[in-house]
Structure 1
Amino acid sequence: MQFKILPGGAMSGEARVPGDKSISHRSIMLGALANGTTRVKGFLEGEDALATLAAFRAMGVHIEGPEHGNVTVHGVGLHGLTAPADALDLGNAGTGMRLICGLLAGQTFDAELTGDASLCSRPMGRVIDPLTMMGASIQSAQGGRPPLSIRGGQKLRSIHYELPMASAQVKSCVLLAGLYSEGCTSVAEPGPSRDHTERMLRGFGYPVRSVKGVISLQGGGSLQACDIDVPADISSAAFFLVAASIAPDSDLILTHVGINPTRIGVINILQLMGANITLQNHSEVGGEPVADIRVRSAALRGIEIPLDQVPLAIDEFPVLFVAAACATGRTVLRGAEELRVKESDRIAAMAEGLSTLGIINEVLEDGIIIEGGTFGGGVIKTYHDHRIAMSFAIAALRAEDEITVLDCDHVATSFPGFDSLARSLGLQIQAEAS
């Protein structure tokens, strides 16, 4: 599938984007390991979260749904998972693979984790290393890449792990393995990363301490089932935050969006660039803060992105690069090495696409410099990365000619129905067979 987007347009109306992917993954995992029945509303029915759901079904967990975002998970307890008959195929779900890897390290059975070509090209050494320190036995393909073979029956020991860089996936992996270890497992973060795992563990009644960037828990406890209302995903909302900021005469409201303080880097950065964004109707759902977000057209300016905001916006940078291209002046990003090991090398992929559309940029080892300019038209390669595809679709709002975005099938991993929702709000987009 490919997108064809005509230039121009304005964004207006009110919409609720799909449920948060990070929370959807974790709702299935922790619900499966809890005692009792967990009911989930607002579950993201995208391919990544569905792959995690299928993996736990394969390990003997009875799960009803999803049906219109509703899922019922009949938990089996921390020690109730059973050996899957085949390798667990996580598709394109990097979060699913890294977190499940931590849980499997403490099981009594052997298991194998695999995925699609994109996922099997992504390095997993960042989770293999600390898990090995804990006593896990994990074999990988060359370079620490999937498939991963995890041997069961290993006695895990607690560790104190200093994260080399802020990463919610690595932190979560170690903490989830810590559920099965003796003693206190702790992770020290060099900077804040998303804290959904800690919040949700507490929601399931499992004590987690967070003191001055060190997160810790004691192994050997238990989780109690609870109800979860998944807020709209700020990573999905980010495409429309940028869209309404850059398209003239736009006025858009996005409802019930998760505004977890470890996830709002995209709002902070856009506001530093001059965006007209306001939050209203604040509430809290299952320990997660939510709000409606109103965004109106604004004249953006280039900035040097603060280092402390980088981990808070790591998934939103592709579309922030589009905002930077529409800003007056220069935008500089540093400290974002993690972008090179996402579904694609997002720095290289975005730089190539920006250049195709006539935007001057300079790639740095850990970031990029983008000079504000004017988008032409062109054909964009996505390298099978859903966020690259959606970002360049948004760019058409300020383009002078049609943009064709190739290989958009993976958009459904995080945002099923993206093109139809975008079209209803004012983007002149059509999905076509390629």
Structure 2
Amino acid sequence: MDVVVRKSEVEGVVTPPPSKSYTHRVFLAASLSKKCRIYNPLIAEDTLATLHACKLLGSRFVRRFRIFEFWGCSLKKTKAKYFYLANSGTTLRFLIGLTSQIYDRKYSVLDGDTSLRNRPNRELVLALKSLGARIRGDESSKPPLFVRGVAGGGEVKIKAISSQFISSLLFTLPNATGDSTIFVEGMKSKPYVDITLHVLRKAKVRVEVDGNNYYIQGEQDFKLRKFEVPSDFSSASYLIAAGLLAGKLKIKNMFDSMQGDKQIIEIAKQMGGKIKWDKEEGIITVEKSELKGIDIDASNIPDLVPAISVMASVAKGKTRIHNAEHLKLKEIDRIDGIYQNLKAVGVEVKKMDDGLIIKGGKIKGGVVNSFGDHRMALAFSLLGLVAEREVMVKNAEVVSVSFPNYYETIIEIGGVVEKL
């Protein structure tokens, strides 16, 4: 599906979807607990991949509207299976770890679509192999991967090329037969690890943290009882950008949480945006603003870069986004994807090894591509709201990965969107 977005003003009240990062983690924690109730999880393609994996691991669940009731599983009693994980990199990384705890002579197979088959996992695989897991795959450990247990406790050093590698180990090693220590080199996207630790604490799993080192007792039981998933600040970033570019919005249910992507509010303020956050009421108000270019360190906020790039494209002056080299390891090389799409609509942009320099100006319009990446479609569709000509987004249906009703939401607040 393609969509066309035409110049229009937006106004109204919106509520972003629940957090994708939290939903992945609480689904898995619930599956490892005896009995648990999850309120308001995100139901989208990526989280459905995790939910399917939970079922294959042996957990049972019942859905009642926005509530999921889980009855958990024991990894020691689980049998090796074929896990098709669609396009979900998070599910893949967590399952690489968890399947290394399955006591079965057969190998579990972890596979996915074409995009997932291009996601490298070498550092995580090396770490688990050093603890005793048997894992087969190509040199960079892209799917399909063949995983057999059992990874025991011990000391492991890992380069944090992706925070998901660290989160996978943090979920895996409490199940191991011995105690473990994780020494992390070059931490990136630490707020996502903080989300993992938050969920583990709620599940009564003990992890001692000393800087970038983690000490984990083995043979712990997960005891998550209930969890309400907060709204997603990553998804809210596109609504904030829409308001800054083209109107006035009130964004509801945005209470404070561990999500690092709440930094979008401070970044918008630094760029001159008219934005306020009432944390007690959970309401963000944002309106059309004259933005200015700034310098942005993206080391901990990779998922905000697409929305920030769109904001920068209309800002006065230059915006420099740096320390974002880990964006090359997402669904696509996001640095290159952003570069190509900005060029396509007439924005002056320079690509660097670790980011981008964007000079703001008028948006001419044109054809942009999601490249199969939901964040590309979410962000670059917004340029149609302010472009001189319409903006067509190719392969726009990919928003279903994290924000299934996105285009309907933009239409409801006044955006002119046509699905083709």
Give yes or no for TM over 0.5: yes
Unaligned runs of 5+ in 1: 284-290
Kindly state the Cα deviation for residue 117 of structure 1 after the two structures are TM-superposed. Answer: 0.7
Query: Are 2:376 and 1:377 equivalent residues in the alignment?
Result: no
- Kindly report which structure 2 residues correspond to 1:323-342, keeping only aligned pairs within 5 A, or say none: 323-342=311-330
Residue of 69, 73, 83 corresponding to 1:72: 69
Separation (CA, whole Å) in 1 of partners of 2:273 and 2:202: 34
Match of 1:19 in 2: 18
Query: Any conservation in 2 of the 1:393–1:429 contact (CA below 8 Å)?
Result: no
Match of 2:47 in 1: 49
Kindly state the Cα deviation for residue 404 of structure 1 after the two structures are TM-superposed. Answer: 0.7
Match of 2:33 in 1: 34
The change in CA–CA distance for 1:257 and 1:243 in structure 2 (over 3 A counts) is: farther
Query: Are 2:126 and 1:129 equivalent residues in the alignment?
Result: yes
Separation (CA, whole Å) in 2 of partners of 1:315 and 1:33: 28
Q: Deviations over 1:204-262 (max 9, x none)?
A: 11112223333332111111131111111111111011111121x42322323554253
Q: Secondary structure in 2 aligned to 1:141? A: coil
Q: Secondary structure in 1 aligned to 2:280? A: strand
- Kindly report which structure 2 residues correspond to 1:1-400, keeping only aligned pairs within 5 A, or say none: 1-10=1-10, 12-35=11-34, 37-65=35-63, 67-77=64-74, 79-84=76-81, 87-109=82-104, 110-152=107-149, 154-165=150-161, 167-181=162-176, 182-188=178-184, 190-191=186-187, 192-194=190-192, 195-247=194-246, 249-257=247-255, 259-260=257-258, 262-282=260-280, 291-305=282-296, 307=297, 310-400=298-388
What residue identity is the alignment partner of 2:207? V
What residue identity is the alignment partner of 2:84? D
Unaligned runs of 5+ in 2: none
Q: Deviations over 1:43-76 (max 9, x none)?
A: 11101100111112122211112x5332111112
Identity %: 29
What residue identity is the alignment partner of 2:7? P
Please report the TM-score for the alignment, with normalisation by the length of structure 1.
Answer: 0.91
The change in CA–CA distance for 1:271 and 1:78 in structure 2 (over 3 A counts) is: farther
Kindly state the Cα deviation for residue 105 of structure 1 after the two structures are TM-superposed. Answer: 1.3
Separation (CA, whole Å) in 1 of partners of 2:371 and 2:237: 20
Separation (CA, whole Å) in 1 of partners of 2:65 and 2:291: 37
Separation (CA, whole Å) in 2 of partners of 1:393 and 1:231: 25
Separation (CA, whole Å) in 1 of partners of 2:256 and 2:404: 18
Separation (CA, whole Å) in 1 of partners of 2:60 and 2:316: 54
Q: Deviations over 1:124-178 (max 9, x none)?
A: 21321222222221112353211111013x242322435344x431111121221
Match of 2:402 in 1: 414
Please report the TM-score for the alignment, with normalisation by the length of structure 2.
Answer: 0.93
Kindly state the Cα deviation for residue 78 of structure 1 after the two structures are TM-superposed. Answer: 5.1
What residue identity is the alignment partner of 1:7? K
